[in-house]
Amino acid sequence: MVEGDGCHRVARDHRRELVGRKFVSKSPNGRFKAGAKAIMNAGGVLIRIEVHGKNLFYFFGTAKGPATVVVHIHFGMAGAFATYKREAPETTANTRLLLESTDGEPKILAHLSAMTVEHGTIANMYDALAAKLGPDPLREDADPMRFVEKCSTAKKPIGAVLMDQSFMAGVGNIYRSETLYEAGIHPSQMANTVTKNELLKLWAVIVKQMQAGFKTGSIWGNKHKPFCYGQTKSACGGKVKEWELAGRTVYACAKKQLLDSKRPPVAPISVKTGTAHIKKMSPAVVAEEKKRKTGEGLAVQHVALKDDATRAAALRAAAKKKASSKKRPVDAITQTSSQSAPPMKKRRT
């Protein structure tokens, strides 16, 4: 699943490359024909991009007028929004939207594949959906007290709360386990028993981890491996337990995360939300190459941001894999076998 930091990375690049440009739009697989037509009728100019958690909103209109059409995108498990300035690959059966710039250089082609791609007006699409979502830790206007106040009356575990996007937008299953571990809160602790200061600390941890994910392009940030997600022992050496909570497997450390409603409160935490102050983020190709070197599968985390560099790297990796899979020469195999074979014992006569 593409979590909130991955969506903000897509938005950061697209605000720089696509906003203000004029496009013609098509739906290669035919599943977004009405939306592609609406973009064209609106004027085809991308006016602005908004992100709320795992939801992206692209606003289209005319160069001199307001946006009149909004495209809502939710990547799901393995969506992607790729931009190409050089040679673009062929679209696939999953390509819902194709944007092609028409206003000069550099010429840009953008391919979108996602679980959800729908369009509407600002009122019935953007305003309506944004109102249902909780604060996004990576937005500049995020208010943690909305999260704190809603938790105070929530009669369900904090681990279930974090998966509910109406409480906080952007956190997925991996961040749930990793942030609750760092904050020292048991996933099954009832949300309405977690103190205000503990919730503010959890918010700060979530902001920090997701900002690191935004900057590096990896959900692990600058960590060498997870704190507890998918582990048998946590970072502090405690035994990790796993169970299903809110439809997904959650992980917790038996040593650090104790299920106890009487835990002492922590000091209030002040943290800067959003991503505007993070001046530089790792390019998509760097994040993807790091993932490729570790051999980590797509089921763990998915890199949604794609461009010319990621495509070139993927083609090189595919060529390298193909070359290495070819059978070695017979003489090389014979030589290796003769070198590694043990000397034969002499038979007694």
Task: List, in order of start, the domains of the chain with CATH numbers.
Answer: 4-132 (3.20.190.10), 144-253 (1.10.8.50)
238-279 per-position pLDDT tens digit: 999 999 999 999 999 999 999 987 665 555 666 788 999 998
Q: Are strands 109-113 and 80-84 parallel, antiparallel or unpaired?
A: antiparallel
How far is Cα of residue 50 from the mean position of the Cα atoms in its chain? 15
Is 10's pLDDT higher than 60? yes
Reading phi first (left if > 0) and then psi (alpha if -120 to 50, else beta), residue 16 is in alpha
286-344 per-position pLDDT tens digit: 988 888 888 887 567 778 999 999 999 989 988 988 888 876 555 554 555 455 545 55
Q: What letter represents residue 82's amino acid?
A: A
Is 349's pLDDT higher than 50? no
pLDDT at 327: 60
pTM: 0.86
Integer Cα distance of 161 and 183 in angstroms? 15
pLDDT at 293: 85
Is 189's pLDDT higher than 60? yes
- Decide: helix, strand or coil at residue 221: coil
98-127 per-position pLDDT tens digit: 999 999 899 999 999 999 999 999 999 999
pLDDT at 263: 60
CA nearest neighbour of 39 among 114, 102, 93: 102
